[in-house]
Amino acid sequence: MRIKVDIETGSMELPIDYRRKFLSYIKSAFEDYNQELYTELYEMGSSPKSFCFSIYFLPEVEIGKEEIILRSKRFTAWFTTPDILMGVHLINALMARRNKWFPLADCDNKLRTLSINNVQERPITANTALFRILSPIVIRDHDNKEMKKDWYYTYEDSEFEIIWKRNLKAELKNKFGRDVSSDINELQIKPIKLRKTVVRNYDIYIPCTIGNFILEGERYLLEYIYKAGIGSRRSLGFGCLDIV
């Protein structure tokens, strides 16, 4: 499911970690809409949230080091999810905020949801699809043992594909009612203009990947990735994809 939400900002200035700010807007929308669901989504530890999002600033926009000047005062948030019920809840939560101003946390700005659309998904009919990265892909290796440290990989690193596939296997372990590891191993990324970028999130700088790529493999996996997004930190606004 793909949901397109048009949003107006109260003023032109947005902080550079706007993803985090926008997420708190979403969270409080969920909190108002359905406390039970909110708890399940945001207070039950690090369970993977079942939607990802990306933000597209409408021109004109200037992106600086510390802040963003959004002259249009308009942006579009794209949400994707493989779970239709999740999508319905998300729409319901945002529906309650339509045409009302809500402050943006810790900054002198506010947001107003203007319109919500359920956008037709593109059918995947072959074993290959050309993806555009809507929000940067984060590939993270979490060191559970001593350091509790995160390692991030971009497409330029040789570990990128290994870690991505390992994480994907963990994610899909009980998803399709069978072992899909071999199908995951068969997945092939062919880069088209992939490049590295660094994104600031919660005071850390995360190296990630943007651009376009072709993914080849089992259709159901392509479909899943199209809807669920790719990589880590998806609920924070990373790894959202579209098909070109």
Binding site for another protein (CB under 8 A): 1, 84-85, 87-89, 91-92, 95-96, 98, 116-118
Closest distance of CB 128 from another protein, Å: 24
CA distances from 217 to 111, 169, 180, 186, 188 (A): 40, 14, 12, 6, 7
Complex with another protein: residue 87 or 217, whichever CB lies closer: 87
Beta carbon of residue 111, minimum distance to another protein (angstroms, whole number): 18
**Do 198 and 208 meet the contact criterion of CB atoms below 8 Å apart?**
yes
| Closest distance of CB 98 from another protein, Å | 7
Q: How far is the CB of 85 from another protein (least distance, A)?
A: 5
CB 241 within 8 A of CB 230: yes
The Cα 185–Cα 167 span in angstroms is: 12
17 near 202, Cβ under 8 Å?
yes
Q: Which is nearer to another protein, 37 or 214 (CB)?
A: 37
Q: From the CB of 148, what's the least distance to another protein, in Å?
A: 36
**84-96 per-residue burial string, b: 16 or more CB within 10 A, e: under 16:** eebbebbbebbee
